Amino acid sequence: MNKSLILFLGVIALSCSSSNEDQNLGLITDNAMVVSARVEASAIGSAVMQQGGNAFDAMVSTELALAVAYPFAGNIGGGGFMVYRTNEGTYGGIDYREKAPMSAHRDMYLDQDGNVIPGMSTKGATAIGVPGTLAGLFEVHEKFGSLPIEQLIQPVVDLAERGVVVTQRDVNSFSYYRDDLVEANGENSLYTKEYKVGDTIKNLAFANTLKRVIKNGRDEFYKGETAKILSKFVMDKGGYITEGDLAAYEAVWRQPVVFNYKDIKIISMSPPSSGGVTMNQIFKMIEPYNIGQYEHNSLEAIQLFTEAARRAYADRNYFLGDPDFADIPLDVLLSDTYLKERFDNFSFDAATPSSEVSRGTIQVVESDETTHYSIVDQFGNGVSVTTTLNGGFGSKLFCEELGIFLNNEMDDFSSKVGVPNMFGLIGAQANAIEPQKRMLSSMTPSIVEKDNELYAVVGTPGGSTIITAVAQTILNLYEFNMGMQEAVNAKRFHHQWLPDEIILEATGYSDELKAALEAKGYSIRQGRTRIIGKVDAIKRLKDGRLEAGADPRGDDAAVGF
């Protein structure tokens, strides 16, 4: 047995021995923890910290391990956002979101009559944005990392060579996407073979790609042999990513959105993600109402949250986009005066119809194809990361030679003003396609601070439902006094302005409550829904220990020490 395998098994054993019977209590550890979509990734991140690495080192390993253990969303062919808070109380964020290729233009997905060409921004090579993940990881490592990069990547090479055991949820997602995966890659591609629970999938090509990255660094992916292979693969398939596009890619450090809600401080991602701004608006609108005085998920609590979300989402689609390209009036959107006015017509008596809040049509399509992980290290640093290929397995295009899936993030742009994207979101000019621009995101990696100390690290996948899921998890902790796991388990609901309906998770809401909401004028959608987020979070307890919230809606797992 090699050394990393022994370490790996040791960490798994440690995590199992620390788990408990109470479904509402997460793993508790004294020092450090990773919570992610897969136990393999959490274990590798935790092991890095056990070797003396910090949360930023653990980020590099966890993110890469997710590309092996959770190829559905973990990636180096996509992008993401990270928000951090150091043990000194400083915070920041990094944007490693994909960019439009240089040849991109506003109407690239329209036919001669100006209609959106179905599938062109969602499937196959034409949907791919310039990947940002490795640029982000190297940038983070350079600024904050403490262990050598090979020590962070080698355990992932080992994992890719050793293989990952297929779970029932993996089987479900492979079979759900199988037709698309076969269409994109043929019958014999690594992820189109038929797998059953307990099989092991090794991704040897990815191990080789990572070995070259260890040797040549970031430039391997953006300027080296890997860049050549990747660009040729995408161009041969009819896409647009040139070697020049890869060479020009840079991750960007961004000032996060930071706001106070009562006596907590919330630090979340700024544009080109809409997450922080929209959550800030929601919290500020509800702040005067003391939502904690109502029962959790009671009529009043749901009304209050829903009305704030309705108004915040209406602003989201119109005003937000890549700040390097669009002027975003953040000072107005986040000002007390504006938000107070915006909520002036709220009443517990009746729903405010969305048609009276603004115009537009949006349909929600929920899914959970992104992935989030939270890390706190033994030094007290917190790291909150959401990363994505956009759809499940991204564009579905798998580059066999490199062992990676490629994103379909171009669909997060607004292909045509007024026409919804695959999440039903409609964009405006601020999110129109331009060369080298970043597409608007809903990803909301967040950190909460209380009494000048780290309080929680929170985030989730879920497309447009990400923002409401993160906000409700924070409210569950702070206003409804739940523990971390309990806050993650609690049933969630969602409203995003249009369509004008509240989505409720399939169970956990009484008929009386639904009838009461309908009597106030709310439309309810339940039954057809999948899940609203898959939250992976960490709470710092009063005594300094850490409690995990690993979402039971997926295979998510916490590992720590």
CB 494 within 8 A of CB 502: yes
Binding status of residue 462 toward ligand DON by CB under 6 A: yes
What's the rounded Cα separation, in Å, for the pair 94 and 502?
32
Residues 409-438 as x/- pattern, contact with ligand DON by CB under 6 A: x--x--------------------------
Strands 200-201 and 164-165: antiparallel
Q: Does 443 help bind ligand DON (rule: CB under 6 A)?
A: yes
Closest CB to ligand DON among residues 68, 410: 410
CB contact at 8 A, 325 and 434: yes
Angstrom distance (rounded) from CA 520 to CA 498? 18
Q: Minimal distance in Å, beta carbon 362 to ligand DON?
A: 14
Closest to ligand DON by CB, 466 vs 517, is 466
Residue in the structure block whose two tokens are 């390097």: 324
Closest CA to 174 of 165, 163, 182, 184: 182
6, two tokens: 């022994």
- From the centroid of its chain, how far is CA 267? 15
**Of 370, 371, 444, 473, catalytic:** 370
Cβ at position 317, least distance to ligand DON in Å: 12
Q: According to CB under 6 A, which residues from 465 to 484 bind ligand DON?
A: 466
Binding segment for ligand DON (CB under 6 A), chosen from 111-119, 160-168, 287-295, 457-465, is 457-465
> Which listed residue (390, 414, 468, 473) binds ligand DON by CB under 6 A?
390
* Residue for token pair 């915070």: 91
- The yes or no reply on residue 442 touching ligand DON (CB under 6 A) is yes
Q: Which stretch binds ligand DON (CB under 6 A): 101-109, 335-343, 414-422, 455-463?
A: 455-463
- Core vs surface per residue 145-162: b (16+ CB within 10 A) or e: bebebebbbbbbbbbbbb
Residue closer to ligand DON, measured from CB, 226 or 408: 408
| Residues between 349 and 378 with contacts to ligand DON, criterion CB under 6 A | 367-370
Which of 276, 463, 549, 560 touches ligand DON by CB under 6 A? Answer: 463
Query: Please, what is the minimum distance in Å from the beta carbon of residue 443 to ligand DON?
Result: 5
Minimal distance, residue 103 CB to ligand DON, in Å: 22
C-alpha distances (whole Å) from 267 to each of 171, 256, 388, 455 are 36, 6, 20, 11
Provide, rounded to whole angstroms, the least separation between the CB of residue 461 and ligand DON.
Answer: 4
Q: What stretches of 219-336 adopt beta strand conformation (E)?
A: 252-254, 257-261, 264-268
Q: Which of 75, 280, 374, 388 binds ligand DON (CB under 6 A)?
A: 388
State how far the Cα of 224 lies from the Cα of 210, in Å rounded to an integer.
Answer: 13
DSSP-based three-state secondary structure for 540: strand
Q: Is 465 a catalytic residue?
A: no
The four Cα atoms 511, 513, 517, 520 give a dihedral, to 10 degrees, of 110
CB atoms within 10 A of CB 339: 23
| Shortest CB 174 distance to ligand DON, Å | 17
Counting contacts by CB under 6 A, is residue 461 touching ligand DON? Answer: yes
The 8-class DSSP code of residue 243 comes to: H
In the complex with ligand DON, the residue whose CB is nearer, 14 or 430, is 430
Q: How many CB atoms lie within 10 A of CB 35?
A: 35
In the bound state with ligand DON, the residue whose beta carbon lies nearer, of 71 and 463, is: 463
Smallest gap, in angstroms, from Cβ of residue 7 to ligand DON?
A: 32
Residues with active-site annotation: 370
Using CB under 6 A, list all residues that contact ligand DON.
367-370, 388, 390, 409, 412, 441-443, 461-463, 466
